[in-house]
A and B are shown apart, each in its own frame.
Chain A
Amino acid sequence: MSERDAGSEPASASDGGSADPGIDGREGARPWTDRRVGQVLALAQREFDTVVRTRTYAGLALAFGLVVVALPSLGGLAGYLPLVLDLLTPVEVLVPVLAFGFGAWTVLADAQSGELDVVRTYPVERSTYVVGAYLGRAVALLGAILAPLVVLGVATPLFREPATSVLASHGTVDSPVYFLRFGALTSIYGLVTLALAMAVSSLARSRRSGVAAAVLALLVVVLGFDLLVVFGVGQGLLGPDTLSLALGASPPAAFRGLVLRTAAAGLFEAGPPAANAVASGFGLAGWLVAGLSVAAGGAWSRVKR
Chain B
Amino acid sequence: MTDSDSTATDTEEGASATDHPADTAGGERPAGDAGTGNGDAVTGERDTGGTGDSEGAGYTGGAASGPVVVDSVRRSFGDLTVLSDVSFSAPAGTVNCFVGPNGSGKTTLLRIVAGLLAPTGGRVDVAGASGRSVGYLPQSPSFRPQFTLRETLGFYEELAGVEIDPDAVLARVGLEDVADRRVGELSGGMTRLFGIAQATVGEPPVLVLDEPSSGLDPTMTEHVGTVIRELADDGHTVVLATHDLETVDRVADTVLVLDDGVVQVADSPETLRRETDSETLTHAVAQYLVGEVGGLTVRTGSRGDDDE
B-contacting residues of A (Cβ < 8 Å)? 1-26, 28-30, 34-35, 38-39, 41-43, 45-46, 49-50, 53-54, 113-115, 117-124, 301-303
Q: A20-B165, A41-B158 are in contact. Are A14 and B171 (CB under 8 A)?
A: yes
Contact of B235 among A3, A7, A41, A124 (CB under 8 A): A7
Contact A122 B156 (CB under 8 A): yes
Residues from chain A with Cβ under 8 Å of B21 in the complex: none
* A250 to B96 Cα, complex, angstroms: 56
Interface size on B, residues (CB 8 A): 66
A-contacting residues of B (Cβ < 8 Å)? 29-34, 91-94, 111, 114-117, 129-136, 138-144, 146-147, 151, 154-156, 158-165, 167-169, 171-172, 176, 195, 198, 200, 202-205, 229, 232-236, 253, 307-308
Chain B contact residues: helix, strand, loop or mixed = loop
Nearest CB in chain A: distance from B181 CB, A? 15
* A8 to B233 Cα, complex, angstroms: 9
* A124 to B92 Cα, complex, angstroms: 25
Residues from chain A with Cβ under 8 Å of B135 in the complex: 121
Q: Which residue of B lies closest to A51 (CB)?
A: B146
Residues from chain A with Cβ under 8 Å of B91 in the complex: 7
Nearest CB in chain B: distance from A48 CB, A? 11
Query: Beyond A39-B161, A124-B159: 13 further Cβ-contacts under 8 Å?
Result: A2-B31, A7-B31, A14-B172, A16-B176, A30-B161, A30-B162, A34-B161, A38-B158, A113-B144, A121-B114, A301-B308, A302-B308, A303-B307
A/B interface sample: 10 pairs, CB < 8 A:
A8-B92, A14-B168, A16-B171, A19-B168, A22-B235, A23-B234, A26-B131, A113-B144, A118-B136, A121-B135
Residue among B134, B159, B235 having the largest count of chain A Cβ atoms under 10 Å: B159
Q: A20-B168, A46-B155, A121-B136 are in contact. Are A115 and B142 (CB under 8 A)?
A: yes
Q: A4-B30, A21-B203, A121-B136 are in contact. Are A28 and B168 (CB under 8 A)?
A: no
* A238 to B213 Cα, complex, angstroms: 65
